[in-house]
Amino acid sequence: MSIQWFPGHMTSARKKAAETMERIDIVIEVLDARVPAAGGNPIIRELREHRQRPCLKILNKTDIADPIATKAWLDYFNSQKGVHAVALSCKKPGDVAKVPGLCLKLAPHRGTTLKPLRMMIMGIPNVGKSTLMNALLKRRAAKVGDEPAVTKSQQSFDLNDHMTLIDTPGLMWPKIEHDSDGLMLAASHSIGRNAVIDEEVAAFLGDILLKHYPALVTQRYGCKAEGMDGFHLIEAVAKKRGYRMKGGEFDLEKAALTLLQDYRDGVLGRISLETPASREEMLKAAEPQQEEPNEL
C-alpha cells in the first residue's frame, strides 16, 4: 500500500520554511527516535543544505524507543557532515536543558545580545517540536497533541537576550518513496488517519513487533508470537479484549486501533521500528534487480 500525505497547509509551510532558513543560524531537526530514517524529510535536508545551516538532530521520544537501536542511530547520524545528533526526551526538563548549549557549539560565532543565536525547530508532524519549544521556554507557548499537524503556522520567541527560537508546522514531503516508510510514519502517527487504513498499518506494525519484540507482545496480549502474522495479532488483541461487533464477529478495526495506540503510548515497552541495519537491508531489497548475465 502506497501512502502519500501532503495536506494543503504544507505547501505554504514549506515556502515559509525556505524564507525563514535565510535568517536563522541553526536547524534543530526533531526526529522520532523509533523511526528516524523513515521520518528524515528530504525537503528539510535540501532547504538547510542550500543555505548551509548546521543541524542538531534530536532523536526524541527515547523514553519509549529501543535503547540499542537509538545508540546505533546516534552513531549513524553523528558520522554525517554538519550534523550533531543527540538522543533525549523532550518531556524531561533535564534533557532539554542541554539543547541550547549544543546549538551554541554548532554556531559559536553567534549567541550574544548583538548577534543572537537564531534557532529553527523543524521536523515531520507529531515528533515533539512544540513539546521541545515549550520545554525550552518553560511555559505552554504552543499547543501540543498526539496527532499530526497540530501546529499550523510558524511561531517565534525569545529564549533569552541572546537566543531566539522558531517553532514550525510539521512538514511532510510530496512523495514517500518506500511503502514501509509510509507505514512506519502512519504507525507513529506522523501521517493523518485520512490517508491510511488503520488495519493495514496495524498489521504492518504487528509483523515488526512479532519479529523483533515477541516477548513484549506475549507479555501484553498473552498470546504466543510463534507462527503469527500481523493480522493474527490484531485478532488476538480483539479476542483478549473481547472486542466484538453486534453480529458477534471480532471487531478488528477497534483491535487495530488498540495495537496502534499501545505502540504510540509506549505501553508495550521500548520499541523502535527500524535500525541502521534494517534500513540498509530494506534499501538493498528495493534496488532494481540486476539481470544475471546470460551464460555462454
Ligand X SMILES: Nc1nc2c(ncn2[C@@H]2O[C@H](COP(=O)(O)OP(=O)(O)OP(=O)(O)O)[C@@H](O)[C@H]2O)c(=O)[nH]1
135 neighbors 181 (Cβ within 8 angstroms): no
Choose among 64, 232, 52: nearest CA to 146.
Answer: 64
Nearer to Mg ion, 130 or 272 (CB): 130
- The DSSP H or E segment spanning 159 is strand 155-160
Nearer to ligand X, 189 or 279 (CB): 189
Half-sphere exposure of 138 (CA within 13 A, CB side): 5
Contacts with ligand X, residue ranges (CB under 6 A): 60-61, 63-64, 89-91, 123, 125-131, 144-146, 148-151, 169-170, 266
Cell of 266: 509506549
Task: Candidates 13-21, 143-151, 155-163, 196-204: pick the segment binding Mg ion (CB under 5 A).
Answer: 143-151
Find which of ligand X, Mg ion, none residue 93 binds, CB within 5 to 8 Å per kind: none
* Helix %, strand %, coil % of the chain (to 5): 45, 10, 45
Provide the minimum distance between the beta carbon of 26 and ligand X in the complex, in angstroms, as a whole number. Answer: 18
| Residue selected from 151, 168, 180, 258 as contacting Mg ion according to rule CB under 5 A | 151
Task: Candidates 45-53, 81-89, 144-152, 183-191: pick the segment binding Mg ion (CB under 5 A).
Answer: 144-152
| Residue 130 interacting with Mg ion (CB under 5 A) | yes
Q: Length of the chain, please? A: 296
| Residue 131 interacting with Mg ion (CB under 5 A) | no
Provide the minimum distance between the beta carbon of 12 and ligand X in the complex, in angstroms, as a whole number. Answer: 14
Nearer to ligand X, 130 or 258 (CB): 130
Find which of Mg ion, ligand X, none residue 266 binds, CB within 5 to 8 Å per kind: ligand X
Nearer to ligand X, 188 or 230 (CB): 188
Provide the minimum distance between the beta carbon of 37 and ligand X in the complex, in angstroms, as a whole number. Answer: 17
Pairing of strands 155-160, 117-122: unpaired
Pairing of strands 155-160, 163-167: antiparallel
Contacts of 112 (CB under 8 A, 6+ apart): 162
| Residue 41 interacting with Mg ion (CB under 5 A) | no
Nearer to Mg ion, 159 or 259 (CB): 159
Cβ-in-10-Å burial (0-12, 13-18, 19+) of 239 comes to middle
